[in-house]
Chains A and B, each alone.
Chain A
Amino acid sequence: MASAFEYAPAPESRSVVDIAPSYGLFIDGEFTEAADGKVFKTLSPSTEEVLSEVARAGAEDVDRAVKAARKAFEKWSALPGSERAKYLFRIARIIQERSRELAVLETLDNGKPIRETRDADLPLVAAHFFYYAGWADKLDHAGYGANPRPLGVAGQIIPWNFPLLMLAWKIAPALATGNTVVLKPAETTPLSALFFADVCRQAGLPKGVVNILTGYGDAGSALVTHPDVNKVAFTGSTAVGKAIARQIAGTDKRATLELGGKGANIVFDDAPVDQAVEGIVTGIFFNQGQVCCAGSRLLVQESVHDEVLHALKRRLTTLRLGDPLDKNTDIGAINSAEQLARITALVETGEAEGAERWSAPCELPSTGYWFAPTLFTGVTQAHTVARDEIFGPVLSVLTFRTPDEAVAKANNSQYGLSAGIWTEKGSRILAVANKLRAGVVWANTFNKFDPTSPFGGYKESGYGREGGRHGLEAYLDV
């Protein structure tokens, strides 16, 4: 929308980050090539520019990394908790120091706006390490009995939507409890994990405690099935999560699975409307909607439907889509061509099934992967866009008449990760929250995260919790 007050470009300086032309796997404290010498390229999704070439791990590399982690486990798990704590505090501080560099890197590799990596991802990453650092010497007080023991080697597979934050969610509790890890970042966003390896070096972390394997699903599968891996932690799609659950059947391996979602954001007629609109926007357009706990289904009470939709559309026209490095950008790029194709296909299905599409009027850059903020009205429970996770900036709007109906519709999903409730009436918040089958319920807010607060899903959104005191359990032999 043209305005008299045009914001001039305000790009964050790219020079704060120095990306090498190629990276190896980080195994036993050293960067090393893949055994078979394979590599792959990682792109900037906003420009399609090649950022770097990284090693592609295979089964042999997985074995090397697991052996290194196993070797390191003996000493690491025997360290006094207070010493492990100090390593993690060091990591937290180094991340704080290097946060602008890491934010720019993450924005380049992922395509999300610098405003988010700077103000959300990186502060949460540092906070997560800081929080779990404090647990390392307090495990006796965590409610799992005296002197709880670690599990051993953790194989961790993380997604591309919050690369460094998901790394923190995985590595911080694992290390605090005395496990060692082999972590595989997603193939489209390998760089921040490799930079994290350098953070470990600066922190003086003993070799083999953290191993980073860049690669594809085959490496992930090899990691999950490796006989010397004691624990699998996975965040990603429900389909892969189910495959992992099958793969570890009959073994002693523990698993936590953080999978898909189709979060209901329920707006009652007595909601604080302006804040609800902000919450709807945050719920589905934060990180271009590529968030497992996104509020992708808006359930709005019929009596305020028109008012809320009018305000929502007005607000969406002010969203600024474009260069993710520009400090004023609200909506960045979609992470990959594949993801863009998936979003596009689902939106086409939505139109074909008769839902009414509205997209914010914004110009899309000519290179890179982009999708305009979009919403569907006239959606019913039967529509594909009301059931399938789109994982993109697409909101499906449904209506309800009574609280009962809102809850019934919200729960009518194979997923159960998140939900939102907007009303000024406290007892309604608590009553609805009680009935929702979702692991995280936000009331009069949305997409809030904190290291002290456990996160995870019901039903096909996965099992296990990450974060908080509860997040320790996933890495303890209890």
Chain B
Amino acid sequence: MAKAIVNMEHVHFRYGHRKALDDIQFQIKEGDFIGLVGPNGGGKTTLIKLILGIEKPTSGSIEIFGQPIEKFKQKNVIGYVSQKANSFNKGFPATVYEVVAMGLTAKLGIMKRLTRQDKMKIKETVAKVGMLDYLYDNIGDLSGGQQQRIFIARALVSDPQLLILDEPTVGVDAENVEKFFDLLHELNQQGISLLLVTHDIGTMTHHAQQVVCLNKTLHFHGNPNTFSSLSKEQLSEYYGHPLNLVTHQH
């Protein structure tokens, strides 16, 4: 059986008096490709923040590779591509190489410089996301889809075993979204587990192996086909409001 990378047991989380997550039982195992859907304010981003250790649960336990999260120090095993990766200062003078090198900051620690292997690794990772021709271009000169690839490279360069992506296709055009998912499948086949947060239920059910629907509690965790065959009423109940599904023809 595949080993659990993340294991959440009875996790609750509150922002002040507002309940954000209620009794979450959730696992991410090696090789998973999980799509996380749910309404705005349903706690998707909070769940990610808990896994990344940015927030601490109000109660319950979170284990990363079998260790309590507080004791888990190897920050580089979980890569993260945030929603905000798209809203950085576009005029920032940083080359693709420099941006990807940032991904090694935590692994290296203070004072350590990049070694020759690190530099090779940066180039390999940029090649992996198909952007080697742009290595010394300023990141702000690239298109939205290209920038997103660079941010994935930044998350990948420290060899993570789990990659978390928060709304990664916002601002990326349809054609590039397809290419983007091809890249994700490739990474998944190389053994990297994926947790992908998105609004786009249609695309998600088409690509992910499992779908998780979160609205304060976990409403659904299972096969994407089962999820797409749910009735509109059922989905609206999960979302807490009537739902107009965007369906994609593939």
Same complex? no
Residues of A bordering B, CB below 8 Å: none
